[in-house]
Amino acid sequence: MSDQDILNPKHMPHNPEKATLEGKNKFIGFWFFLGGETVLFASLFGTYLALRNSVNDGKSSEELFGLGLVFIMTMLLLTSSLTSVYAMYHMKNNDFKKMQLWLGITVALGLGFLACEIYEFYHYIHGYHFTMRSSAFGSAFYTLVGFHGGHVVFGLLWIVSLMIRNAKRGLNLYNAPKYYIASLYWHFIDVVWVFIFTVVYLMGVL
Amino acid sequence: MSTIAANKRGFGSALWDYITTVDHKKIAILYLVAGGFFFLLGGLEALAIRWQLIQPMNDFVSAGFYNELITMHGTTMIFLAAMPLIFAFMNAVVPLQIGARDVAFPFLNSLGFWLFFFGGIMLNVGWFTGGAADAGWTAYAPLSTTSAGEGVDYYVLGLQISGAGTLIAGINFLVTIVNMRAPGMTYMRMPLFTWTTFVVSALILFAFPALTVGLFLMMFDRLFGAGFFNADMGGNSVIWQHLFWIFGHPEVYILILPAFGIFSEIISTFSKKRLFGYTAMVFATVLIGFLGFMVWAHHMFTVGMGPAANAIFAVATMAIAVPTGIKIFNWLFTLWGGNIKLTTAMLWTLAFIPTFTLGGMTGVMLAAATADYQYHDSYFVVAHFHYVIVGGVVFGLFAGLHYWWPKMFGTMLNEKLGKLTFWLFFIGFHLTFFIQHFLGLMGMPRRYWVYLEDQNLDLGNFISTIGALMMGLGTIVLLYNIVLTCIKGEKVGGDPWDGRTLEWAISSPAPFYNFKQTPLIRGLDALWVEKSEGRKGLTPAEPLGDIHMPNGSILPIIMSFGFFVAGFGFIYQKYDLSWLTLIFIGMGISLATMLIRSVKDDLGFHIHKEDLDKEAGE
Amino acid sequence: MKDWMGKIRTLSLFILMTIVLSACGRENLTALVPKGYGAEESFRIIIISILVMIFVFIVVMAIYVYVLIRYRQKKGQENMIPKQTEGNHTLEVIWTVIPILLLIIIAVPTVATTYDLADESEKEDSINVSVTGMQFWWHFEYEDEGIQTSQDLYIPTGEKVYVNMLSSDVLHSFWVPSLSGKMDVNPENENSMYIEAYEEGVYWGKCAEFCGDSHSLMDFKIVAVSPEEYEEWVSDMQNLDGETTPDTTTAQEGQELFENSCLGCHAVGNTPSVGPNLSNFGDRTMIAGVLEYNKEELVEWILDPASKKPGNGMLGADYLQDDTIGEDEADKIAEYLMQLKPSDITPDSAQ
Amino acid sequence: MAEEVSKTTEQYDYEKQKNKEEMKQQVISFALMIIFTIIAFGMVISDLNSLFVIPVILVLAAVQIGFQLYYFMHMSHKGHEMPALMFYGGVFTAFLTILALCALVWW
Ligand code: HEA
Ligand code: HEA
Ligand code: CUA
Ligand SMILES: [Cu+2]
């Protein structure tokens, strides 16, 4: 397949993200990467679980967490997962405009999530003087949730730069895999969050 | 661009070529040179350690410096010498063995190397800023979190950066092997070195994240006042030990499995037989990889985990002896009935079998938890792991070096000098480490800067030091051999050893596009299959056509340099927050290069059919 | 299990003899001449596993040597192509099953001893000692008896003594090779194990977990005396009086100097804050765990502890900065310290 | 690969139809995820016995992950064998890691 074919938006097969060898490589490689990420987050979760009662006279999880905000955050992120599925749906139908639109919605929801998280941290630090240095629990909490937050930030940057870069030239076999793995990444962020709200927040107030 | 024989270029352009290369064969050479350098550095540190221990209460180095020496010796050897040297051979050989034109992600391949390289430099910067890391290569908290100065910070950031490079390399090889095999190269026809690369890459993928997290936690403790390992803040230092060994035990199999692969290739080549029990060998490799994740706590028998955990981990650890034994016996039976030719590469391989068996057996002895209460943290453990690491990994690397040198450079290392190196190193090795088993049992703990007089430890340590000096001599002969070969080595053809696998089917050194036509693989030991049917070359799987090649890129080195710079910012902000600017600069550089990379389309170039034809005519 | 253990014991005795005869190790230090319960249990496993390993090694080497001699390339046969065998199922089964059986031989006693050595059922009724590891010395407190010592731990022979260990800084590890295997000393959770000495003697202990500059000099001793002597020692220590004035005048002057410069960290008769308890310093086997016990060494230690043990906790002492203690003063203090012998039971009793 | 490029209209319609059906499933699984989330939060708020609640919410989380993986990330589709292998490899290691670090607290 020549370069022209790859960059030409007209030639779109059914699974554009896996039509070229480069695309296949990216797709498989990214899944492998997610396998590694699973271990990464598991290490953080494990550390958190080991230290979640080590509050050392500081604030404990029961005193800190409020479920309302967490519920809103969860809804935002879950919904953004669905919207990115919509984006991929339109990618498969070769409808670039709609894909960009749904990705835009995804980004907006992600930003909403991030805003809540920043508010939450701000609240803990200034309202409760609960920081990374308060106790081992504090260190573990901020590190786990912060790592996830960092992933959200990176994911948003990634999707946004893809959207801007390709706004003019539409979908092609060169960038379809990029879009696809960005959306995989976004789902993975959601996967991690499901465990965070369960293990950190829900189990934290029990 | 498609002028293949780019001979007679200036030094500047050759350097530029290597800095920007994404060709797996050149990256292999980069890994070989950098890893070789760090091996010499680590070896020098080892010699200093041994010299300090030549007599009781010696004062060759101070206590603090000794601790830096052992820490940096261990860290350098494992992360900066052994692993990169392994990557050197993986890069040089694996794409050739599976009939691929390159790895799956050439750009990332280069990035992986440069990350490792700058990480390695970072680790060693400590020497010049008032003290390198001094908490052991295992960096147990709280010694590491309370260690003064910046040594341990360099350890943390250096490993973090080079670890990222390793992870990238691992994913790259996984995808290469899954997706890039030539037609007919089924999984069960892959040469064993490719198989071990595959399994090892999976181990890297699952083991390194645990180290990454551990290092982050340590960084937060040391640099940002977090309390993960700080008992006063409710932290728990044992968490570090778990994270480190969840990574650390698979790590030792990451080191040894490729060596197993190398030995498998060499044994079958030089006894002119196909590998005995190929299927069992593959199965054993996978099983070792799998079991490798379930035994990490055997490094922690004395931590106080309780009898249940100790018993479980003891038994699980012993289980690994079974697949490893399968390998040993299969090698022996490959030799059985063969036509064994004693080249240097084969000598290293043959020396490996009894040496590694000894090391593995002491491993099983260590696995017996209650006996380990005595061995643990004594020289018995030092002896064990040098038997498996030097006797397994280093022997393997030396064997691979002699075996694949012709393929990588097109010349032949001198066999006479090679054998001299072998005997010096081999005898020196056993002198150094055999006696250490007894030293350990006689009550000499490891990481001891001095030992007291009158403890019957003098003679053993003396012998050990003499052995280390012999190893040093052997290494110097090897260096001489390499220099000699580079100056006036004899040129060799594509297949100097009468090889069996694909890499020997093309010229030495391989053309930059590897295979003119992707070959069709018709069985295990693909080249041997063709040879035994009387054919000269490989059966092509496709007509001659244009070859697509990736472009070189300067971005990987810049990106890695950005992280390197940011590392200093992270460390020194603990003294003065104005250093934070360095973080922004460094991260800025890295993110900017990432952005350039993702925004600029890089579709590579094509070598045209006509050019390939022309070359064939030459 | 016990009766085949008996056979192994005779065999191990034999091996032990050879090892001892080849002069392997200093008697009160080496793990190869066990003098206590834990060390003996470990040693048994060591012997069992060595025997298995010798067997394995012989098998491997036999095949190896045979193959190398028999199948080495001969002159004129460079191009001979041997038969390309694929494998052999029977063989493969054999070398899978036999190692498994061999491993079971090691695994069963290992698991049994693992539980045995972690046994705490008698802990309540035994002597309990709280051990504190510090950079770079050891402190021992007999809480029930209300006494404490540093560096030298006194125990009765033939009895289980539980040591409960906690670190006050970094990790250490408590290891007395000839009595028992080691156990880590962690800062956050207490570890405990028991030791039991069969014979009287002074056993060498070492710190086996990397703990900083003087990790290699963090030695201690276990003084095992007969139960009667132990009782006597305990009551002597309980009745000790830190205030007694020494007999000689130099020692009296030494006492005064000591009270001025040293008591901030050390203690005689009560609990110290930073340094070792010196109540029975006169009966120490060694100074600071590693220096020969004599006056010159002691004076040198007092004058320049850094040269003896890099980075040790005494380097922060004020007197080292303001030079109030010279050779003469140190000499007097040494005189005072060396006569602190509250008990007749000393390491010499442990013969 | 080139033959994929020129598609007949039938094929095109067929694929479009298939995509649509798949999308329907995605929406259903999304709805289920939302419901599970609400159940989980609800159980925690309603002060039930935590020994009962914790396992249930963990199971709910696991099922949600299943939805994400198999519907949103298409892990059931063809060509996902290797990804699944490596991902579950990660999950296995993850499981061991978490188990070990939790065990730290119990002992
Ligand atoms: C290449 C590296 C490498 C390899 C391959 C191994 C292989 C093994 N290791 Fe080793 N190990 C290290 C590197 C390695 N190790 C390092 C670096 C450390 C120390 C880290 C530190 O603390 O700094 C260490 C420490 C270490 C410990 C902890 C000791 C302690 O600190 O107290 C233990 C305990 O179980 C152990 C066990 C084993 C076992 C059972 C194997 C097995 O895989 C061996 C299997 C092989 C055989 C058994 C031989 C062949 C088999 C047969 C011929 C079949 C028949 C055999 C039998 C029936 C026995 N190792
Ligand atoms: C791949 C891993 C690897 C390798 C190859 C080696 C190789 C060697 N090691 Fe290493 N070692 C470790 C990994 C390794 N080691 C680890 C992980 C530790 C634990 C660290 C810790 O406790 O934290 C350790 C610890 C360790 C100790 C214990 C220190 C202590 O506990 O106090 C000792 C002591 O004898 C030792 C010795 C040696 C020797 C003599 C070699 C020899 O084989 C080296 C042979 C090489 C040479 C001799 C090279 C000679 C170089 C030249 C001749 C230079 C020429 C120079 C120029 C031209 C510039 N090592
Ligand atoms: Cu204390 Cu080593
Ligand atoms: Cu291990």
All residues of chain A having their beta carbon less than 8 Å from the beta carbon of residue B206 are 35-36, 39
Among D86, D95, D106, most B C-beta atoms within 10 A, so best to mutate, is D86
Of residues B337, B370, B449, nearest to C110 (C-beta): B370
CB C209 within 8 A of CB B377: yes
Question: Residues D56, D84: one domain?
Answer: no
Q: Could you give the angle at the alpha carbon of B322 between the alpha carbons of B320 and B324, nearest 5°?
A: 75
Q: Which residues of chain D have pLDDT under 70?
A: 1-8, 105-107
Query: Does one domain contain both D36 and D20?
Result: yes
Three-state SS for D52-76 is HHHHHHHHHHHHHHHHHHHHHCCCC
The pLDDT tens digits for B52-73 are: 999 999 999 999 999 999 999 9
Q: What domain count does chain B have?
A: 1
Q: Name the token pair of D14.
A: 């067929």
Percent of chain B's residues with pLDDT above 90: 83
**pLDDT attached to residue B618:** 44
> What's the confidence (pLDDT) of residue D16?
77
- Is the pLDDT at C2 greater than 70? The verdict is no
φ, ψ dihedrals at C166, nearest 5°? -145, 145
Interior/surface letters B436-473, b for 16+ CB within 10 angstroms, e for the rest:
bbbbbbbbbbbbbbbbbeebbbeebbbbbbebbbbbbe
Q: Tell me the mean pLDDT in the region B325-348.
A: 95
Q: Mutate which of B77, B252, B315, B441 to test ligand 1's pocket (most atoms within 8 Å of Cβ)?
A: B252
Sign of CA dihedral C156, C159, C115, D104: negative
Which of the listed ranges A53-57, C51-55, C271-275 does the model predict with the highest average pLDDT? Answer: C51-55
Which of A50-59, B267-276, C218-227 comes out lowest in average pLDDT?
A50-59
**Helices then strands, each counted (H, E), chain C:** 9, 12
* D37 and D68 housed in the same domain: yes
Alpha carbon of B11 to ligand 3 centroid (Å): 52
Are D27 and D70 found together in one domain?
Answer: yes
Q: Which residue has the higher pLDDT, B543 or C113?
A: C113
Question: What per-residue confidence (pLDDT) applies to B543?
Answer: 86
pLDDT in tens, B463-476: 999 999 999 999 99
pLDDT at position C1 is 46
Q: Give me the domain span that covers residue B455.
A: 3-553+602-617
Q: Which of B142, B361, B368 sits opposite C45 (nearest CB)?
A: B368
Distance CA B144, CA C100 (A): 40
Nearest to B313 by CA among B357, B236, B390, B366: B366
Nearest in space to A20 (alpha carbons), one of A7, A33, A34: A7
**Cα-based angle B377, B382, B385 (whole degrees, multiple of 5):** 120
Q: Is the pTM of this model over 0.90?
A: yes
- Tell me the sheet residues that pair with C220: C205
CA distance D103 to D107: 6
Residue with the nearest Cα to atom 1 of ligand 3? C172
Band (B187; pLDDT cuts 50, 70, 90)? very high
Question: In this predicted structure, what is the pLDDT of residue D5?
Answer: 47
pLDDT at C130 over 90: yes
Mean pLDDT of chain B: 93
Output the domain CATH number for residue C296.
Answer: 2.60.40.420
**How many structural domains does chain D have?**
2
Q: What is the pLDDT of residues B377-427, one digit of tens each?
A: 999 999 999 999 999 999 999 999 999 999 999 999 999 999 999 999 999
**3-state SS string for C77-131:** CCCCCCCCCCCCHHHHHHHHHHHHHHHHHHHHHHHHHHHHHCCCCCCCCCEEEEE
* pLDDT score at B8: 53
Longest Cα pair distance anywhere in chain C, in angstroms? 95
Which atom of ligand 3 sits closest to the CA of residue C133?
1
Question: Would the CB of B446 count as within 6 Å of ligand 2?
Answer: yes
pLDDT of residue B256: 97
- pLDDT on residue C351: 76
D30 and D12 inside one domain: yes
- State how far the Cα of B510 lies from the Cα of B25, in Å rounded to an integer: 8
Let me know if residue C320 belongs to a domain: yes
Distances (CA, A) of B259 to B158, B219, B352: 25, 33, 10
Mean pLDDT of B457-466: 94
Same domain, D67 and D84: no
Residue C308, in any domain of the structure: yes
Residue C216 lies in a domain: no
Residue range of the domain that includes D67: 2-76
Question: pLDDT digits over C315-328, tens only?
Answer: 988 899 888 888 99
The answer for residues whose C-beta is within 8 angstroms of residue B587's C-beta and 6 or more apart is B562, B563, B566
State the burial class of residue B44 (Cβ atoms within 10 Å of its Cβ: 0-12, 13-18, 19+). Answer: middle
- Neighbours of C (≥3 Cβ pairs closer than 8 A)? B
Structural domain boundaries enclosing C295? 249-349
B132-144, pLDDT tens digit by residue?
999 999 999 899 9
Whole-angstrom distance, CA of residue D15 vs CA of residue C322:
89
Do residue D107 and residue D65 come from a single domain? no
Query: What end-to-end distance do the CA atoms of chain A give, in Å?
Result: 58
Across residues A54-61, what is the average pLDDT?
Answer: 84
Q: Are B235 and A6 in contact (CB < 8 Å)?
A: no
B344-367 and B395-409 helices, crossing angle to 10°: 150
Q: How many residues does chain D have?
A: 107
Q: Which residues of B491-524 are buried (b: 16+ CB within 10 A; e: fewer)?
A: ebebbbbbbbbbbbbbebbbbbbbbbbbbbbeeb
D93 to B246: CB separation less than 8 angstroms, yes or no: yes
Q: Is residue C257 part of a domain?
A: yes
What are the φ/ψ torsions at residue C192 (nearest 5 degrees)?
A: -140, 150
Highest mean pLDDT among B598-612, C21-35, D53-67: D53-67
B364 lines ligand 1 (CB under 6 A): yes
Of C78 and C46, which is predicted with more confidence? C46
User: What's residue D28's pLDDT?
Assistant: 87
Could you tell me if the CB of B495 is within 6 A of ligand 1?
A: no
The model's pLDDT over A151-176, given as tens digits with 9 standing for 90+, comes to 999 999 999 999 998 888 888 888 88
In-domain check, residue C53 = no
The answer, yes or no, to whether residue C10 has pLDDT greater than 70, is no
- On the question of pLDDT at B562 being above 90, the answer is yes
Q: How many CB atoms lie within 10 A of CB B286?
A: 16
What is the residue-averaged pLDDT of chain A?
A: 89
**CB pair distance less than 8 Å for B178 and D96:** no
Other beta carbons within 10 Å of D95: 15
Query: Is the distance from CB of C309 to CB of C289 less than 8 angstroms?
Result: no
Q: Is residue C272 pLDDT above 80, yes or no?
A: no
CA C192 – CA C89 distance, rounded (Å): 49
Q: Are C129 and C136 in contact (CB under 8 A)?
A: no
Q: Are residues D62 and D17 in the same domain?
A: yes
Distance from CA of A99 to the nearest CA of D (A): 14
Phi, psi dihedral angles at C266 (to 5 degrees) = -95, 175
Q: Which of residues 47-66 of D touch B (CB under 8 A)?
A: none
Which of C67, C77, C163, C207 should we substitute to test contact with B (largest number of B Cβ atoms within 10 Å)? Answer: C67
Sort C306 into a burial class: Cβ within 10 Å, 0-12 / 13-18 / 19+: exposed
Strand partners, C154: C223
C305: Cβ contacts below 8 Å, ≥ 6 apart = C288, C312, C314, C315, C317, C320
Residue C206 lies in a domain: no
The answer to whether residues D85 and D60 belong to one domain is no
Structural domain includes residue C111: no
Q: Which residues contact B82 (CB under 8 A, 6 or more apart)?
A: B35, B39, B255, B389, B393, B394, B397
The number of CA neighbours under 13 Å toward the Cβ of B70 is 25
Confidence at residue C331, expressed as pLDDT on a 0 to 100 scale? 92
Return the closest-CA partner of residue B236 out of D100, A195, D93: D100
Residue C310, phi then psi, degrees to nearest 5: -55, 135
The per-residue pLDDT for range B70-114, each reduced to its tens digit, is 999 999 999 999 999 999 999 999 999 999 989 999 999 999 999
The answer to whether position B579 is within a domain reads no
Q: Which of A18-27, B223-232, C125-134, C208-217 has the lowest mean pLDDT?
A: A18-27
> Residue B600 burial (CB < 10 Å; 0-12/13-18/19+)?
exposed
Tell me whether residues D92 and B309 touch, CB distance under 8 A.
no
B3: pLDDT strictly greater than 60: no
β-pairing verdict for C220-225 and C201-207 = antiparallel
- Residue D62 and residue D37 share a domain: yes
Handedness of CA C312, C314, C317, C321 (dihedral sign): negative
Q: Which pair of structure tokens corresponds to residue B382? A: 């030092």
Tally of structural domains, chain C: 1
Instruction: Give the ligand at the shortest distance from the Cα of C56.
Output: 1
Residues D84, D72: one domain? no
Residue to mutate, B249, B260, B299, ligand 1, most ligand atoms under 8 Å from C-beta: B299
Q: Say whether both D66 and D86 belong to one domain.
A: no
Judge whether C172 and B303 are in contact, CB under 8 Å: no
Of the candidates A24, A25, A39, the beta carbon closest to that of B210 is on A39
Specify the DSSP class assigned to residue A151.
H
Which residue among B40, B253, B384, B386 has the greatest number of ligand 2 atoms within 8 angstroms of its CB, and so is best to mutate?
B386
Size of interface B-D (CB pairs under 8 A): 37
Classify residue C306: in a domain, yes or no.
yes
Residue nearest to atom 60 of ligand 1 (CA): B363
Task: Say if CB A71 and CB A116 are below 8 A apart.
Answer: no
Q: State the Cα–Cα distance between residues C202 and B130, nearest whole angstrom.
A: 42
In chain C the beta strands, taken as DSSP E runs, fall at 127-134, 137-142, 147-150, 152-156, 161-167, 172-176, 180-185, 191-195, 201-207, 220-225, 286-287, 291-292
Contact A62, A204 (CB under 8 A): yes
Cα of B73 from ligand 2 centre, angstroms: 6
DSSP B453-505: TTSS-HHHHHHHHHHHHHHHHHHHHHHHHHHHHHHHPPB--S-TT---SGGGG
CB atoms C73 and B341 under 8 Å: yes
Give the per-residue pLDDT at C267: 85
CATH number for B612: 1.20.210.10
- Position B159 pLDDT exceeds 80: yes
The question of ipTM being above 0.90 is answered as yes
CA distance D35 to chain A (A): 11
Q: What is the pLDDT of residue C21?
A: 46
Weakest mean pLDDT among A3-7, A125-129, B320-324, C211-215: A3-7
